[in-house]
Amino acid sequence: MIPGRMSNSQTSAQIRPVDRAFFARDPRRVARELLGKVLVRREAVRQEAVQPGVGQIAGKRASNRRLTARIVEVEAYLGQEDPAAHAAAGLTARNAVLFGPPGHAYVYFIYGNHYCLNVSCEPEGQAGSVLFRALEPLSGLEAMAQARSIEIHGPGDVRKLTSGPGRLAEAFDITRARDNGCDLTSAAGALWLGDDGYPAGRILVTPRVGITKAPDWLLRFVLADNPFVSGKRMSRITAAA
């Protein structure tokens, strides 16, 4: 069971894929305009093994197969002229997707523990990208919780699903083997980016998180006042008694 969450987003019925031209631009522009858009996992990979007790009805494993979440925090990486970018040293086997056509998933593994998701930007040959740092879950929260191996006991716990680049990748079952190089502009794909008409509202710009090179460049973009932005919260969400 997942209790009601503090949300300022509505789930719209219609989500249309973002087209490739959107990504064929400067990553700073793409990052800004991706705020408020939606990340979609077409079908949750894991399936609930519901074992109903005697006389009980099987659980709701068939519903909520599609995962959706609103993009609330991103960072821009500028390609070879950005010391903090994976593309800084040029083309390698690991970062090849960054140099390919725009709108494709670049997934990398970090700290021996976590995957992180980017989308390639700029025309082919230029290696700009946008890193996804936090999402606001909209649908499929049960499957996300299962993928994250956590239980949701209150609104504050919902934040732990997708608030952070490693967390959101785990919630969406994103791995390098499965998703690196995938086209994110097609709703027929396993993972894609969509627009449901949500107005982004006020945007804050800050330095990027967790890097040692070019630490003061202002390339992190967040939705102001959105509780799902990563990092520590000054005031906790007051759960209803």
Partner DNA sequence: ATATCGATTATCT
Partner DNA sequence: GATAATCGATATG
Q: Which residues bind DNA (CB under 7 A)?
A: 75, 77, 84-87, 89, 92-95, 106, 108-114, 116, 118, 129, 131, 148, 150, 160, 164-168, 208-213, 230, 232-236
Contact 47, 15 (CB under 8 A): no
Which residue has 């006020």 as its token pair? 202
Q: What's the farthest any 2 CA atoms get from each other in the chain?
A: 64
In the complex, minimum distance from the CB of residue 149 to DNA, in angstroms, rounded to a whole number: 8
Please identify, using beta-carbon distances, which residue of 88 and 203 lies nearer to DNA. Answer: 88
Length of the chain: 241
80: Cβ contacts below 8 Å, ≥ 6 apart: 87, 88, 90, 127
Please identify, using beta-carbon distances, which residue of 118 and 185 lies nearer to DNA. Answer: 118
In the complex, minimum distance from the CB of residue 89 to DNA, in angstroms, rounded to a whole number: 5
Please identify, using beta-carbon distances, which residue of 55 and 112 lies nearer to DNA. Answer: 112
Rounded to whole angstroms, how far apart are CA atoms 24 and 203? 22
Give residue 67's Cα distance to chain centre. 11
Please identify, using beta-carbon distances, which residue of 204 and 209 lies nearer to DNA. Answer: 209
In the complex, minimum distance from the CB of residue 45 to DNA, in angstroms, rounded to a whole number: 18
Give residue 211's Cα distance to chain centre. 19
In the complex, minimum distance from the CB of residue 16 to DNA, in angstroms, rounded to a whole number: 26
Please identify, using beta-carbon distances, which residue of 15 and 221 lies nearer to DNA. Answer: 221
In the complex, minimum distance from the CB of residue 212 to DNA, in angstroms, rounded to a whole number: 4
Find, among 101, 127, 128, 79, the residue nearest to 21 by Cα. 101
